[in-house]
Chains A and B, each alone.
Chain A
Amino acid sequence: MTVYSQISQNKRKTNIIVLLFFIFVSFLVYVIGRGMGYSGTSLFVFAFLLSFASSFFSYFYSDKIVLAMHKAVPADRKLHFDLYTVVENLSLASGIAKPRVYVINDLSPNAFATGRDYKHAVVVATTGLLQIMDRRELEGVIAHELSHIKNYDMLLMTIVSVMVGLVVYLTDFFMRSLWHRGSNRNNRQGSGIFLLISIILSLLSPLVATLLQLAISRKREFLADASAAYLTRYPEGLARALEKLRDTPVQLRTASNASAHLFIASPLKADSQSKPNWLVNLFSTHPPLTERVAKLRQM
């Protein structure tokens, strides 16, 4: 498959999943609304606002939060010459302003990008990454990160996490309200069958929503890989870098589920096995490295 068709295919697939997500959330809201009777609407508004507020905060301050969480320091042009200049060069190639560059002092090789838009974008690499990558491999990694910035993945993942939060809060409120219902059942008019479906949906939905979120995250990784290959015109650089990451599975000291989706390869050890089973893969923010390398080699 060519670079062009990989790029458009991954964009199409994300759109489809996001659309499915919207349909799923609307369906859930409708069913729970019917199940609860009149109080459904206000519940929805409240759940939405709560979810929106929490996601918006992390979106707006993502750069500051993540940099502080991982104790990142600004990169020095002399000290981190390759990193600094590679970020400069690839920004030239993609026509965006150079994002700020940071370094995390950690032996585990990894990198990530974050920030709500071009102006607030940051690219971060660990010292472990700088040690093991040559310049062409580093170009591949940085191109992948810049592609996340260029594709507005931060915005997309924020919208998705607002929807996931909505589902979680909504179902949670619903289950709580059932307790209430037991004590004064006379003044509720939710119909029986919808009530039953609502209960089943409430149990399953948070899981489904999370799985959809992870599926979108994995598609964006493939998209960023393909865009990186297009940007550097040298997919082999990124392919070699990913192989190196696969073969040095040292877990990042500050790794957590909260920021896992930002990194070039999942910072959590369980996800970086060379052949994860389908169940691990289903719950992972990143596609398996072996599969990513194989796709890059096809380009």
Chain B
Amino acid sequence: MQSSYIIILLAVLVGLYLLGMYNRLVVLLNRIKEAWSGIEVQLKRRTDLIPNLVSTVKGYAKHEKSVFENVTKARSALMGAQGVKDTQAAENMLSGALKSLFAVAEAYPELKANTNFQDLQKELSDTEDKIAYARQFYNSNVLSYNNSTKIFPNNLFASLFGFKEQEFFDVDEKETQPVKVDFEK
């Protein structure tokens, strides 16, 4: 008699623990999703700025065709990207293409003096910052989720309920420096 009570009590405790773990992981997973949409907003902001930038630069530097093509190609790759891995690759490609675009702009003093171009530069560099910070927030959410699935005894049950490890949004080594066209004033 006595022992059956103990068993029931134990079962209830385990059930409560599993319920708590499940709910907590769902919350953490949703935070990751929200953080990801935060990144997407900023990536969209950047892709929106690009056509304007390209046409402004084109007005002064018509001959640099390959640079424009690269930027446009990278932009559409980013817009079509699905999932973390794809987005990451396209993101890195676009950053590289933009870097060479700004490097080209250096050779055209009139372009550099154009206020429209200066504004775009400022906005783009700010968007780079925003992407970096949104990514940092995303990664810290992934970290706390992954930690929760891996600590004992959660690790025994997490995969049972289909909680998979989430990917970090990493950057190219080269890209860890912000796009270094001199944006400061």
Contact = CB atoms under 8 A, between A and B. Distances in A.
B180 to A, nearest CB: 13
Contacts of A135: 184
Contact of A89 (B35, B133, B141, B184): B133
11 contacts: A85-B126, A89-B129, A89-B130, A92-B38, A92-B42, A92-B130, A92-B134, A93-B134, A93-B137, A95-B35, A95-B137
B130 A88 contact: yes
B72 interface: no
A contact face: mostly helix, strand, loop, or mixed: helix
A236 B6 CA distance: 58
Given A81-B122, A85-B129, A88-B130, A93 B136 contact: yes
A238 interface: no
A242 interface: no
Contacts of B130: 85, 88-89, 92
Contacts of B35: 95
A100 B134 CA distance: 19
A96 B59 CA distance: 41
B123 to A, nearest CB: 9
A245 B136 CA distance: 28
A89 B141 CA distance: 17
B133 A90 contact: yes
A6 B122 CA distance: 35
Nearest to A90: B133
Interface in B33-70: 35, 38, 42
A92 B134 CA distance: 6
A135 to B, nearest CB: 7
Nearest to A95: B137
B171 to A, nearest CB: 13
Interface residues of A, number: 12
Interface string B122-145: 100010011001101100010000
Contact of A92 (B122, B137, B141, B184): B137
Chain B contact-residue range equals 10 to 19
Chain A to chain B: the 4 pairs with minimum beta-carbon distance, closest first:
A93-B133, A92-B133, A85-B126, A89-B133
B131 to A, nearest CB: 9
Contacts of B136: 93, 233
**Residue from B122, B133, B136, B137 whose CB has the most chain A CB atoms within 10 Å:** B133
A243 interface: no
Contacts of A233: 136
B62 to A, nearest CB: 30
Interface string A124-153: 000000000011000000000000000000
Nearest to A94: B137
A90 B132 CA distance: 10
B31 to A, nearest CB: 8
Interface in A54-99: 81, 85, 88-90, 92-95
A149 to B, nearest CB: 16
A256 to B, nearest CB: 34
A134 B125 CA distance: 14
B68 to A, nearest CB: 27
A93 B131 CA distance: 9
A7 to B, nearest CB: 14
Given A88-B130, A93-B137, A95-B137, 11 more contacts: A85-B126, A85-B129, A89-B126, A89-B129, A92-B130, A92-B137, A93-B134, A93-B136, A95-B35, A95-B141, A135-B184
Contacts of B129: 85, 89
A81 B122 CA distance: 9
A147 to B, nearest CB: 14
A62 B162 CA distance: 47
Contacts of A89: 126, 129-130, 133
Nearest to A134: B184
A88 B129 CA distance: 10
Nearest to B122: A81
Interface string B154-174: 000000000000000000000
Nearest to A91: B133
Interface in B12-32: none
Contacts of B122: 81
Contacts of B141: 95
